[in-house]
Amino acid sequence: MAQTWSPLEAAVLRTLLYADIFSGTLTLNELHQYLISNQKFTRSDVRSTVRRLRDTDTTSELIATVYRGDVPRHFPTEKWVAIVDMVSSLAWIPWIESIWITGSVAVGNVQVNDDLDILFITSPRRLWLTRAVVVVFGILRGKYRRSHFSDDMVANQWCCNIWLEHEAAQVDQNRHDIYTAREVIQALPVYERESGLAARWLDKNRWVQEFCANGFVLARQRARTLPALGQRHPLFPGQAVLETLLNTLAYHVQMISIRAKQTREEVSLQTAFFHPSNTQQAVLEKYEKMCRHYSL
């Protein structure tokens, strides 16, 4: 006979199962933040529900494996130093609107030798000009991760996976699922050029509330705490036109290199996704299978 769960019990179980796919664990704060539900629940309600599920035969093993309660997660100091160094190195580039850390570092499940997965949001018609500057500057500094680097060479290297122009920062509707919703809310904002630019990206993706209502609210609160450098002003007449022309040129030049070795990259004039591997479909299929096992 199928088990019947309350809405919060089902949400807690779904969230723990999703973390288990990646062999991860969740603290109470993380479980509350990443709760898979379109309803908002309090931290104390989540704690009470976990306690109840811990005493349930069918879920006690899952709780013991994935849930870590109030045990703090250690974040290596070296990673914060590397993030601050990256931001201070790139903040001079005037077309970067905001910078986000993604991947394992963003969720705190980090090893000292991990690289930095980075998402850039740029001004309109400046993505490829920005990317050209970041790549050249990163290579000169020995910080830009190259495709031929082995795992023992990538510690704190800049892995610039996702590039979005501000006007194209809304996720396509065909990507509206729990996988992408989690990627959005767990992204860690570390820089914005003007106050409110980071939060604006989240506002363009309010659909994530249908999957993670708690996470959207908490992510937006976090984005509003960033310091901003102030508005940029043109240095000379015609600068905007020149930059747009250079951006178009930079796009065509870079596309020569990208097409020569293109695999899973998805690129356009306004967006660029550089995926080392495509795990989304496999993760979603495994997640649904695990949910069915628990009658969710």
8 Å CB contact between 1 and 51: no
| Least confident piece of the model among 45-59, 100-114, 179-193 | 100-114
CATH 3.30.460.10 fits 77-209+219-276, yes or no: yes
pLDDT for res 18: 96
How many angstroms separate the CA atoms of 72 and 70, rounded? 6
Question: Of residues 187 and 224, which shows the higher confidence score?
Answer: 187
Q: Please, are residues 38 and 213 in contact by the beta-carbon 8 Å criterion?
A: yes
d(CA 22, CA 33): 17
The confidence score (pLDDT) of residue 240 equals 86
- Mean pLDDT along residues 86-97: 92
What does the pLDDT read at residue 109? 77
Q: Which two tokens stand for residue 208?
A: 């994530």
Q: Taking residues 81-87, what's their average pLDDT? A: 92
**Torsion sign (Cα): 94, 97, 102, 106:** positive
How high is the pLDDT of residue 268? 92
Residue 230 confidence (pLDDT) above 70: no
Looking at every residue in the chain, the average pLDDT score rounds to: 89
Please say whether the beta carbons of 18 and 179 come within 8 A: no
- pLDDT value for 271: 93
pLDDT of residue 40 exceeding 80, the answer is yes
Average pLDDT over residues 29-37: 96
Rounded to an integer, the average pLDDT of 259-274 is 86
The predicted pLDDT at position 248 comes to 94
**Per-residue model confidence (pLDDT) at position 236:** 62
Give the pTM.
0.89
- Provide the pLDDT for residue 105: 87
- The SS3 call for residue 67 is strand
Does residue 238 have a pLDDT over 90?
A: no
Q: Has residue 148 got a pLDDT over 80?
A: no
> What pLDDT, in 10s, does the model give residues 155-196?
888 999 999 998 888 888 888 999 999 999 999 999 998 888
| Residues 6 or more apart in contact with residue 12 via CB below 8 angstroms | 31, 35, 46, 49, 50, 53
Residue ranges of domains in the chain: 7-72, 77-209+219-276
Average pLDDT of the segment spanning 6-35: 95
Check pLDDT > 60 for residue 225: yes
- Rounded CA gap, 162 and 231, in Å? 24
pLDDT band at 1 (very low <50, low <70, confident <90, very high): low
**Percent of the chain clearing pLDDT 70 (strictly above):** 93
> Distances in Å between the alpha carbon of 154 and those of 75, 103, 190, 277?
18, 14, 20, 17
The answer to whether residue 150 scores a pLDDT higher than 80 is: no
The residue among 191, 188, 172 whose CA lies nearest residue 86 is 191
178-to-36, 265, 285, 296 alpha-carbon distances in Å: 8, 21, 11, 15
